[in-house]
Chains A and B, each alone.
Chain A
Amino acid sequence: MALARIDLIIIFLYMIGIMVLGTYYARYVQSSEDFYVSGKMLPWWAIGMSLVATDISALDFIAASGQGYKWGVVVANFDWIGCLPPMILGAFLIVPFYWRAGVYTIPEYLGLRYNRWVQLIQGLLWGGFLACILGALYWATGLMLVEFMPIRDDFAGGALKNSLNFLLGFYHAAEGSNWQIMSWLILIAVVVGIYCYAGGLSAVVVTDVAQLVIMYIGGTAIIVLGMIKVGGMSGLTSKIYALGPEFHNHFKLFLPADSPSPYPWQGILFGLAFVLAPAYWLGNQAIVQRNLGAKSEWDTKGGMLWGAFLHALIPIMVAFPGLIALALYPGEKSGDVAFPRLIHKLLPPGLTGLVFAVLLAALMSTAASNLNSAATIWMKDVYQKFVIPLVGWTRGKFKPEKKELKPSDRHYLAVGRSLTAMFVVFGIFFAPIVTRYSGLYIAIQSFLTFIQGPNLALILFGIIWSRATGWGGLAGLLTGLASSVLMFYFKGYIFTREEPFLFIAWWSFVISSVTIVIVSLATKPEPREKLLGLVWKYADKDKELQAALQERVEE
């Protein structure tokens, strides 16, 4: 399927516009604080819009509508019960503590609350995850672009195809249109990389705001046209019910407990609503980073709640296209083609370009946030916390006069930008590995499952329970991770369903929580001065809190 000239012009203008807008903000980046947390100047409305744009990726449009095609409206739970509760809880109970602590990353907060080993493990896990997810996001974009804008085999005399196939040969993936996917993903990765490199978090947030507006306009267009085509809500339901009894649960938000799908109600409630969603919204650096850049505590809370409002409309744009595609074009083998099929069949030239820009906007905003957060975590939690002291220690051992190693702020800014460039390259080379997974959405959820349960346990106990100790946190993290990996490995023996990621998340959270409690009670309590500003119990002791935080900063 090829796009019309007008569509290509719209997409071209969109990409140029976003790049110019993002790079414009380079002029406001004078320090590392400007680069990593926007100089703590973000207002609530930008935070809320950026939260939603970051959360919604092209994967949501393609894979969530694919799951909607296969299982129905139940997939909307990921954006309804999977968003609003954690965002309300986060706004009032969690995010203010991150903001008050003055940290750049969540592992940094956990490092202050528990100990440096928790920070290192969390930093490596999240840093690794964010870097790897970039590859998945890039591959999904390439896949989508090829569907609409295939590249001719003889482009550039066939040199492009030959060189990329040579590269893909190392992954045993030099087949079909994979070289075209690689071509597009490299282009997108470079565009995103340029404005992230130049403008840091400010560029990410301001482009997110623009991209969310485009997403709403384009997403609404496809839903309106689709609903007209199927004859409104009544036409949609009657067409899907007419497909057979196996489709009679397609308009239920909760599937029966014995449903063969990965989304029975108990999994949605215990796995998604109680563990995965809070862990994602409260513990994912790519999400929370804009809250850390808020200009006040009220703005960080308000931004989260404003995001919750905006997010309530997202399922209509990401899950309902799957239902519309099912009503109009039943019998597809893979649900993942539902959304592209809808664009292809429903939209006139011009509007196709706009909706295509929506997918690009979704992808680019998520990729930019992950890129920026990956760079922030690797700089703050690995480089600054461990590499710099290690280099200082090594130097001091041989040349005692050089023991003190205190790099300038410009140095940390330069490191952040170098890491951004490095992760662009890493994402490109990691992307072909994604081809080994059959379902992109499931693959990402499975990967997140390992981290999310223990991560949430650490955050909740860290903020709410002042008795939780550094050793308790470390033990909880390690047992939680080990249990989720073991459950995933032996899932065939433990669980009755094929993709039990919601259940793994729940049980790893439980195991991690129990371990934190037992080990904390068995170890010495943390001193009060360490906990000021970091736990709920000492939230309102502001004078002491400020003094404690100041002391930490001076350290």
Chain B
Amino acid sequence: MSAIILKIIPALFAPALQVQAERVVWPFYQIGNFIENTLLLLPYWGVKTLVILFFLSLAAMPFFFSKDYIFKGADDRKPWRDLRYWALAAAVSEVIVYLYF
């Protein structure tokens, strides 16, 4: 019974819903097309540069925090516990990968 209902109801309302849906989404579709066409203009090297800058900014970000925040809760302040350098090393390793591929 439930299967029949599930088939009949959408069949009755589908055409009307479709017309409404097309009306509602048409402006969004146009906006999406505009954005997509604009992005198409960006060259491959431009995309890569953007991504590498993104990684480098991530590597730099922790250096703006205070040392107290970085070491908060740590047993001591030995250099290997400085999490800023952990983040730097991880980000640089990915920069190398994105430069290669």
Which residues of A approach B to under 8 Å, CB–CB?
Answer: 73, 76, 80-81, 84-85, 87-89, 91-92, 96, 251-254, 256-258, 265-266, 269, 273, 296-299, 301-302, 305-306, 308-309, 312, 490, 493-496, 503, 540
- The reply to whether B86 and A493 form a contact with Cβ atoms under 8 Å apart is no
- The reply to whether A253 and B55 form a contact with Cβ atoms under 8 Å apart is no
- The reply to whether B83 and A302 form a contact with Cβ atoms under 8 Å apart is yes
| Bound-complex Cα distance A84 to B87 (A) | 9
| Bound-complex Cα distance A495 to B42 (A) | 20
- B24-53 vs A: 1/0 string, CB under 8 Å? 010011001100100110101001101100
- The reply to whether B94 and A312 form a contact with Cβ atoms under 8 Å apart is yes
- Chain A residues with CB below 8 A from B40, complex form: 256-258
- The reply to whether A312 and B90 form a contact with Cβ atoms under 8 Å apart is yes
Task: Known contacts A269-B50, A302-B86; decide if A257 and B39 are in contact (CB<8 Å).
Answer: yes
| Bound-complex Cα distance A496 to B34 (A) | 12
- Give min CB distance, A530 to chain B, whole Å: 23
| Bound-complex Cα distance A296 to B76 (A) | 12
- The reply to whether B54 and A85 form a contact with Cβ atoms under 8 Å apart is yes
Partner of A252, one of B39, B69, B87, B101: B101
- Chain B residues with CB below 8 A from A297, complex form: 72-73
A interface, over-half SS: helix
| Bound-complex Cα distance A76 to B100 (A) | 13
What 4 A-B pairs have minimum CB-CB distances, sorted nearest first? Answer: A296-B73, A297-B73, A298-B73, A298-B74
| Bound-complex Cα distance A289 to B60 (A) | 27
- The reply to whether A253 and B86 form a contact with Cβ atoms under 8 Å apart is no
- Give min CB distance, B2 to chain A, whole Å: 14
- Give min CB distance, A55 to chain B, whole Å: 15
Number of A-B contacts (CB under 8 A): 105
- How big is chain B's contact interface, by range? 35 or more
- Chain A residues with CB below 8 A from B8, complex form: none
- Chain A residues with CB below 8 A from B25, complex form: 490, 493-494
19 new A-B contacts, CB < 8 A, other than A88-B62, A298-B71, A494-B32, are: A84-B55, A85-B55, A88-B59, A88-B61, A88-B87, A88-B90, A91-B87, A92-B62, A92-B83, A253-B101, A254-B47, A256-B44, A257-B36, A266-B36, A269-B51, A298-B72, A306-B86, A312-B93, A540-B69
| Bound-complex Cα distance A91 to B91 (A) | 13
Task: Known contacts A81-B51, A85-B58; decide if A257 and B42 are in contact (CB<8 Å).
Answer: yes
B interface, over-half SS: helix
| Bound-complex Cα distance A501 to B43 (A) | 24
| Bound-complex Cα distance A96 to B50 (A) | 28
Which residues of B approach A to under 8 Å, CB–CB?
Answer: 21-22, 25, 28-29, 32-33, 36, 39-40, 42, 44, 47-48, 50-51, 54-55, 58-59, 61-62, 65, 69, 71-75, 81, 83, 86-87, 89-91, 93-94, 97-98, 101
- Chain A residues with CB below 8 A from B58, complex form: 84-85, 88-89
- The reply to whether A494 and B89 form a contact with Cβ atoms under 8 Å apart is no
- Give min CB distance, B12 to chain A, whole Å: 17
- Give min CB distance, B57 to chain A, whole Å: 9
- Chain B residues with CB below 8 A from A496, complex form: 32-33, 36
Task: Known contacts A80-B97, A266-B39, A302-B83; decide if A493 and B91 are in contact (CB<8 Å).
Answer: no
| Bound-complex Cα distance A493 to B25 (A) | 7
- The reply to whether A493 and B73 form a contact with Cβ atoms under 8 Å apart is no
Q: Which residue of A lies closest to B90 (CB)?
A: A308
- Give min CB distance, B58 to chain A, whole Å: 5
- Chain A residues with CB below 8 A from B62, complex form: 88, 92
- Chain B residues with CB below 8 A from A251, complex form: 101
| Bound-complex Cα distance A273 to B75 (A) | 34
| Bound-complex Cα distance A96 to B25 (A) | 41
- Give min CB distance, A550 to chain B, whole Å: 18
- The reply to whether B21 and A92 form a contact with Cβ atoms under 8 Å apart is no
Partner of A265, one of B28, B47, B69, B90: B47
11 examples of A-B residue contacts, CB within 8 angstroms: A84-B58, A84-B91, A87-B90, A88-B59, A254-B47, A273-B54, A296-B74, A312-B93, A312-B97, A493-B25, A493-B29
- Give min CB distance, B70 to chain A, whole Å: 8
- Give min CB distance, B25 to chain A, whole Å: 5
| Bound-complex Cα distance A84 to B96 (A) | 13
- The reply to whether B81 and A254 form a contact with Cβ atoms under 8 Å apart is no
| Bound-complex Cα distance A247 to B40 (A) | 21
- Chain A residues with CB below 8 A from B97, complex form: 80, 253, 312
Task: Known contacts A84-B90, A253-B101, A257-B42; decide if A298 and B81 are in contact (CB<8 Å).
Answer: yes
